[in-house]
Structure 1
C-alpha cells in the first residue's frame, strides 16, 4: 500500500470506481485504435457508459458505500458536469447564475464583477459567438435577483402550498393505485407460475413431448413473474417522498424569514429557487430605465416582471427644486448656504459644497446668475473660440494651463482680458500647432531654415500613399534621414534614392518582422563596436532579459540610453565574467531563475511553496499564479521579507492543476505587420 495526499483526482476516482461500492464490474473501458493522418496508430481507452458494462455484480464484496449511494453520487456528478450543459448552483452571490439567458440573441448570460466592491452584473455572452445584438443588455445582478426573489416569495404563500399539497395527494393516490395494481399483477404471475410448476411435476416421464411443452410453459410464466416483480419495484421507486402537510405549511409561513436569515447561504437560496423556477430570460425593452424579466416555472407557467434599473445615487428632488428656483439669482456659495439651512444632502448623503452645486447646475442645465457684467476689454470663452475659429475645449485648455491670463467671477464664469497682443499671440500658437491649424495635416511645408529637398512626414506619407504612422515608425528605427526643426516638426531629407528605399520597404515588409528575442540590435550609428542590447546580452548569458534589466536597475551593470530610447550596454570579457558571477549566486534576489530566492524557514516548515516552485513544477507562467491570487482563487501568505507563498493543500493543488491545463490550451496568435513594418 502506498499512502499519498488526498487530492481532487483521487477523491473523484474513489467515487466513480464501483469496487469501493462492493461491486465487481467488467467492461468499464474499451480499447480504441485510430489511424492518424501521418499513418501512426493511436490507442485510447475511453470510458463505457454503465448501461453497456459487460458484467456487473453488486454485493460481490464488502464496500465502503452501498450500490445505491454509488448511483446517487454518479447522478450528482453528472448534474454538476458543466461542459455537458449543466448549470449547478455555485457559491457566488448572484442567484440567477446559470439559469438566466438573453431574450435578444438567445445566448446565455454570464456573471462579471467590477468596481472596488466587486459588484455583480449579468452580461450577455453573445459576443463570444458574434451573436450579440444592439438590444442585448448588461444589468446589475441585484435588480434581477431582487425581482425574482420577490416573485418567488409572493408565490409561495399558504394558499399556494395548500393547492400544491392537494395536487400532491392526488398524485400520491394515483401512485397508490398503480402500486396496488402492480402487486396484484405480481400475485397473479406467481399463481400462474406455481400452477405451471405443479403441472410439470405431475407429468409422467415417459410423456417426453408433454413434459417439454409443460417445461416451456413454466419458463414463460417464470419470466412473466420476473417482469411483474421488476414493474413493482419501479412503481415503488417512482413514488415521490413527500414531507408532512403540517411541516410544509409551517415552512411556507416562515419562508421569508428563512430566506433573509444571515445563516442561509447563497447556494441554499439558489437550490430553493431552482426547485420551482426552470429558467429566467432578460427581455429587450425600448425604455432604457426599465428591465423586463421573464420567469418560466417547472410547471410550464410563465410570469413577466417589469422593474426599474438602478440609476445610481441621484440628487434628491427637493435639492434639485431649490437649485432650479434660486440658481438663476444666487451664486454657488449662496446656494451652499441655502441648502445647508434646508438640511438637504447630495445623492451620496454628503453636505453640498461649491463643486456639488456646480455639478447640479451642469446636470440639470440650471443657469448661473450673470448680474455682474464683463469688465472693459474682457470677453468669455465662447467669444474667444468664435473669434479664433477654434473649439471651446482648446480655449479652455489654454486658460487652465496658464497659457492665457483670465479670471473667474462669482458665478464661475471665465473672463479673458482681450487685447490685440493677446489675439496675435493666440494666432501664432494656432499657426504653430498641427492640431489646431484648420488647413489640415500635411498642408504646411517646412519653412524654418528650410534645406534643399526637405519635406514633412505628412508630405512623405501622401507621396507614398500610406499612413503617416508608417513613416513615423521608419524614423524611429532611423531608416530615412530626418531632423527636428526649430519649431519641433520632423523634416525628412527627400530625394530619388530615399523614395526608392521607401518603396522597397513597402514592397518587402517582412524585413521589419522580428525573428526572435534580441533580433533587432541597436542602430550602428548610435553604438560602439563592443556594445550590446539587453536582448543580445540575455542570449549570450542564457538568461531572461528581465535578469539583465534587473542588474542595470541595481547599478551592477553600466548602461546608457541611445537617441531612440533603447538601452545600450558596454560589453567586454570582464563585464561578462562579473555578470555571470552575480547571476550564479544561489541566493541572488533577481529573476535569474525559478525559485532562486528560497523562502524563510518558518514558511517552509508549514509546507508552503513559492510562486516560482509551483510554476516550474506545473510548467506555467508565474504571472498566471499571481493573477489567480489577485482574483482570490488561490490562498497565499506574505512573508516578512515580502515574498508570497502558497499553502500546498488539496484545494490549491486542484486549482493550480486546472490553471495549468487552461494555460496550455491557449495557442498564441500569429502577429501581422503593416505596410510600414509596424507589428
Structure 2
C-alpha cells in the first residue's frame, strides 16, 4: 500500500489539474535590499526551498523555473524589476501553470502591479501559491482573498515608509539629522560641523564668493580660477582614502553647488530636493528628485553652522544666478554683441523686454515683437540701436562725473586686495609643496638602506616631489613678474587720472563691449522707450539703481519724410521759400538754420533732397537767369528739366549719360551743370526706353551699343581699303607722268 499524502497536500492538489502540470512552475525569489540579502539569508533559503514544495505537488525538477533576478530590489514598483517583468511575460504566453512565493508581498507591493498580475493569471489559468495555500485567480473567493492580501502588502509598505520618514523629519526639525557636508566643511566624530582645518581650502571658498560678487556670473568666476591656476580642495567621501584632501580643477557644477548651498550661509536645510511623483511614475529613476522653492523646504534653521557669507549675501547670489538666465523675464548676463542695452531695454507699450536684431549692413535695431508673437498683433515698436545707445552712454557719463574720483580710488583698492589675495594663495601652494617634499624626504631617510626594493620607490617619489616644488616656484616667479604685488606710484596716479577721463576709458580699444555693458548695469536698472507712432520722436526714461529716473526725448532715424512729426510744417515752409524764388541749395541752408532735419541719420538737408521734395509737392523750380538761358542751344535741356519732363529721376538720367546712351555736355564754368541734347525724336526714344522694364531696357541699350560698335568698325575697314586704293592709283599716275 502506497504512502498517503497529508490531508493539506491532498486538499491543495484538488486545484492542480493536469493542464497545470503540463506547464512550468515558477518560484519567484526577491529581497527588498542588498543588506537584507546579506543579513537575512534564512528568508532567502526559505524562498529557494519552495522548489521542493512544487516537486511534492507533481512537477518535475526540470519543469520548475526559479526567477531570482530581483534580489536586492524593492517591490514598490515594477520599474527596474526585470524578474517580475519576465514572470508577467511568461504568464502572458501561457507557459506558467503555478507561481510560488513565500508571501504575496514578495511578488508586488503595489496594487497596480498586483492586480495586473491577477488579471493575466485569471485569463491564462495560472495558479498562485504561498505558505498558506493555493489560489485560483479565476475563482471569486480566491480572487477576493488575493486582492485583500495585495492591499495589506501595500498598506504595510506605506506604514513602514511613513514611520521612517516621520522619524527622519522629526530629527531634521531639531537639526540633528546628519548628511554629507560640502567642500570647505568637515564633520567631526562628535557630529559637530566646522570649517575645513586646511587654510587654503577656506581661502579658495572665500575667494569664489568674493569674485562672484565682483564679476556677477558663474562663467566669469570659472575663467578667473582657470586663468590663475586655482584648484579647489575636496575631501574624499568614501573608500580607503575617506577624509583625505584632494585638489581638483574647478568646474561649473562644483561652483554652482557652492553658490546655491545654504550651508555656506550657516543655515541647516532639509528637503531642498524632493521626489516628484510624475517623474517617478514615468520611470525616470535618475530624475525623481527635483529642486523645490525654499518656501516648500521641510526644514530651514538659520545660524546652525559656521558661515562663509551672510544669509543676505546668499539670497543676493541666488537672485544674481536667476537673473543671468536667458529668458524674457530676466535681465540676463552681459554677452557678446555690439548692442549695449540688451536686458536693460523695456518696451513702453507692453512692458516686455526688447530684443536686438543684428543686420550685416544696417548694424542692429532694438525691436519688441511680443504682441505679434504671442497674440498675432502688430509689432510694438522698432528703433535704431546706435542712436539709442549713444544717448544712454552720454547720460551715463554725466551721471558718473560726481562719483568718478570715488570709483577710481575703489578700483585701486580692489586691485591691490586682489593681488594680495592671489599672492597669499601662491604662498599656501608653495608651503604645501615644501611639506610634501619634506615628508617624502623623511620617508626615504627612515627606510633601511639594505631594503633597496622600498628605497628605490621612495627615492623616485622624493625626486618627483622636489621637481613639483621647483616647477611651482618657477611659476610663482613668473606670476610675480607679470603682476607685482603692490601698485606703483605711477599706477596710482594713472588710476586717479581716470576720474577725469572716464569717456577716454569708455572709448579705449582695450575696453570690451562686455565691460561697457557691465558698467551700465551697475548704474541703470532699466531703460524704458516709447516711440510716438511711426514718427522720429521717442520718449526715453532711464531708471537708475538709486531709485531716481531721468526722462528725455530723442530723435530716431525713420525711412520717409512723411513719417516726420513736423512734416506739415516742413512742407508749408518749403512752399514759402519756393515762392520767394530761392534756389534748392539756398532753401536747404535756410531750413537747416531753422531747425528742420531729414528723416535719415544725416543731420542736415541737402539741395538734392529739397529738389526731390519740391518735385513731390509739384512746386516749380526757380526761373533761370538770362545768362544761363543763353547757354542753351537748339533742342538742349538742363538735366533736371529733362528728367522732370520724362517723369524719371535725375540719378537715372545721369547714369544714362555716364554709359553713353544720351548725348550731353557739361558746362565749363564752376557750376558744371549738365546739358542734354534731345530733339522731339530723341525725347520719344528716351520715353520709350523709360517705359521698358529695367532688364529689357538695359538689354536693348546693350544691343544698340553693340550694333553701333560693329557698324563703326565696318565703316573704318571700308575707309582704310578705299584710302589704300586711292594711294595706289595716285602712285601709278605719278610714274606714268615721269616716263
Q: Fold-level match, TM-score > 0.5?
A: no
Structure number, greater radius of gyration: 2
TM-score by length of 1: 0.33
TM-score by length of 2: 0.31
- Between structures 1 and 2, the one with greater helix share: 2
